[in-house]
């Protein structure tokens, strides 16, 4: 089968990673994988996996551009003999919705988050994500959101948890030299426990709360705030100044990016303090896979990525005291307690968040939809 995935861009993020992973699975299974986006740094990786990429303004929310893209899609579908389309975001989904009717091909969607929208026009804009033959939800939290907010039959909602590549996030593949290289790049002093705070620099990611909590931790640590600012220069400067004001100048460093598996493997503790509900956050999953205990906000899909007290800790949104307490608890763990948590976390991830499982379930959805479509013709 020839499957076209369409999304706004291939810069970074959960939907982008899922697109590349599924494209690779399609190619490995002997199918054709096509992707349309506005481009980004992950395009080269997509090509390396054997998929074809086409650069369109699919990130535009301009109604005229959406309409123009839909007409281009009709011709594209015929030219490339596309069997099925997978829309991963709202703006391109509207183009797909219009084109699929004209071209006579089925499409599915993936809800990567619980889209907000109380105003009628916003709800209409979001509703296109429920118009596919199947609606993949990246967590039970997102499934519940869809069922409660849109008129959709339950059988069309398919929960498929996001998966990670366990051949990449494998502690056995991280050499001592690789960890040491990361620690040196991050400026972590020798022998000091490293607290990793991954994620793009954004107020909704909770970096300010994290710094304020770290300022109250009395035990030795060095924190690495790791993620791109994505143009939020003022916010990055604010965090740097805040760290200095809180007396953390010699206890923190900021990295725009780097070797993530090595960063997790070198970490004593990982923090993910988002202030908004995420569909299925990757950080807690990746951290546990690499043997790093994690503290995360008790919001949205995060409940499904951590067994609080067993594989990590969940703290209430914005609760400074709870976050400080959890950090202290984590840093005071005995080697035996830490080992038990690491084992439990790794087993939990292997059982529920394997990329291969995610891709197999997604390809099964493709096949089911195509079989139903052919049967109805």
What is residue 369's predicted lDDT score, i.e. its pLDDT? 95
Q: Assess whether 70 and 136 both reside in one domain.
A: yes
Angstrom distance (rounded) from CA 361 to CA 46 = 20
Residue percentage of the chain with pLDDT more than 70: 99
What is residue 114's predicted lDDT score, i.e. its pLDDT? 77
- Residue 85 maps to which CATH number? 3.40.50.2000
Average pLDDT over residues 56-65: 93
Q: Assess whether 244 and 327 both reside in one domain.
A: yes
Residues with Cβ within 8 Å of residue 16, at least 6 apart in sequence? 7, 9, 10, 40, 42
Segments forming the whole domain that contains residue 124: 2-163+355-376
Span 271-300, pLDDT tens digits: 999 999 888 889 999 999 999 999 999 999
- 209 band by pLDDT with thresholds 50, 70 and 90: very high
Give the least confident one: 113-117, 145-149, 257-261, 295-299.
113-117
Sign of CA dihedral 142, 283, 9, 44: negative
What is residue 150's predicted lDDT score, i.e. its pLDDT? 86
Angstrom distance (rounded) from CA 97 to CA 107 = 8
Residues with Cβ within 8 Å of residue 102, at least 6 apart in sequence? 70, 74
What is residue 71's predicted lDDT score, i.e. its pLDDT? 94
Q: Assess whether 213 and 362 both reside in one domain.
A: no
Sign of CA dihedral 166, 176, 178, 327: positive
Q: Assess whether 157 and 182 both reside in one domain.
A: no
Q: Assess whether 85 and 142 both reside in one domain.
A: yes
pTM of the model: 0.87
Angstrom distance (rounded) from CA 97 to CA 102 = 9
Angstrom distance (rounded) from CA 60 to CA 226 = 29
Average pLDDT over the chain, rounded to whole?
A: 92
Edge to edge, what strands does the sheet with 52-55 contain? 52-55, 32-37, 2-6, 84-87, 107-111, 135-137, 157-159
Q: Assess whether 345 and 363 both reside in one domain.
A: no
Average pLDDT over residues 339-353: 96
- Residue 33's alpha-carbon distances to 12, 57, 290, 319, in angstroms, are 19, 19, 30, 44
Secondary element (H or E) of residue 108:
strand 107-111
What is residue 180's predicted lDDT score, i.e. its pLDDT? 95
Residues with Cβ within 8 Å of residue 264, at least 6 apart in sequence? 169, 196, 270, 286, 287, 289, 290, 291, 292
Q: Assess whether 11 and 89 both reside in one domain.
A: yes
What would the two tokens of residue 239 be?
């965090």
Backbone angles phi and psi of 312, in degrees to 5: 170, -160
Q: Assess whether 236 and 135 both reside in one domain.
A: no
Q: Assess whether 157 and 291 both reside in one domain.
A: no
Q: What crossing angle do the helices spanning 207-214 and 233-245 adopt, rounded to 10°?
A: 10
Angstrom distance (rounded) from CA 130 to CA 134 = 8
* Number of independent structural domains in the chain: 2
Angstrom distance (rounded) from CA 198 to CA 221 = 16
Q: What crossing angle do the helices spanning 320-331 and 207-214 adopt, rounded to 10°?
A: 60
Q: Assess whether 45 and 133 both reside in one domain.
A: yes
> Which residue did the predictor score with more confidence, 360 or 120?
360
Q: Assess whether 17 and 57 both reside in one domain.
A: yes
Secondary element (H or E) of residue 364:
helix 355-376
> Which of these, 69, 157, 66, lies nearest to 111 by C-alpha position?
157
What is residue 152's predicted lDDT score, i.e. its pLDDT? 83
Q: Assess whether 180 and 312 both reside in one domain.
A: yes
């Amino acid at each position: 089968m020839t499957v076209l995935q369409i999304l706004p861009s291939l810069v970074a993020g959960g939907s982008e990673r899922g697109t590349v992973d599924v494209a690779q699975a399609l190619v490995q299974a002997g199918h054709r994988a096509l992707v349309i986006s506005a481009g980004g740094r992950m395009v080269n990786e997509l090509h390396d996996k054997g998929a074809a990429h086409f650069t369109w303004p699919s990130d535009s929310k301009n109604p005229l551009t959406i309409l123009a893209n839909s007409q281009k899609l009709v011709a594209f579908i015929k030219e490339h003999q596309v069997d099925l389309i997978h829309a991963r975001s709202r703006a391109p989904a509207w183009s797909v919705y219009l084109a699929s009717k004209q071209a006579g091909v089925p499409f599915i969607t993936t809800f990567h988050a619980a889209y907000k929208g109380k105003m009628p026009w916003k709800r209409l804009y979001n509703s296109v994500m429920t118009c596919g033959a199947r609606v993949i939800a990246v967590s039970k939290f997102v499934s519940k959101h869809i069922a409660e907010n849109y008129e959709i039959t339950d059988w069309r909602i398919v929960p498929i948890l996001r998966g990670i590549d366990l051949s990449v996030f494998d502690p056995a593949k991280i050499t001592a030299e690789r960890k040491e290289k990361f620690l040196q790049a991050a400026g972590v002093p020798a022998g000091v426990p490293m607290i990793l705070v991954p994620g793009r620099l954004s107020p909704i990611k909770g970096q300010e709360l994290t710094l304020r909590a770290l300022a109250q931790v009395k035990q030795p640590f060095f924190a690495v705030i790791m993620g791109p600012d994505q143009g939020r220069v003022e916010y990055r400067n604010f965090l740097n100044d805040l760290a200095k004001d809180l007396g953390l100048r010699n206890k923190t460093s900021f990295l725009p990016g780097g070797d993530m598996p090595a960063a997790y493997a070198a970490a004593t503790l990982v923090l993910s303090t988002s202030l908004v509900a995420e569909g299925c956050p990757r950080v807690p999953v990746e951290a546990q896979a690499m043997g790093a205990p994690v503290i995360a906000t008790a919001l949205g899909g995060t409940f499904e990525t951590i067994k609080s007290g067993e594989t990590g800790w969940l703290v209430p949104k914005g609760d400074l005291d709870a976050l400080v307490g959890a950090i202290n608890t984590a840093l005071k763990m005995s080697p035996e307690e830490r080992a038990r948590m690491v084992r439990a976390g790794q087993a939990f991830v292997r059982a529920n968040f394997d990329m291969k499982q995610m891709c197999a379930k997604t390809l099964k959805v493709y096949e089911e939809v195509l079989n139903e479509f052919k049967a109805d013709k």
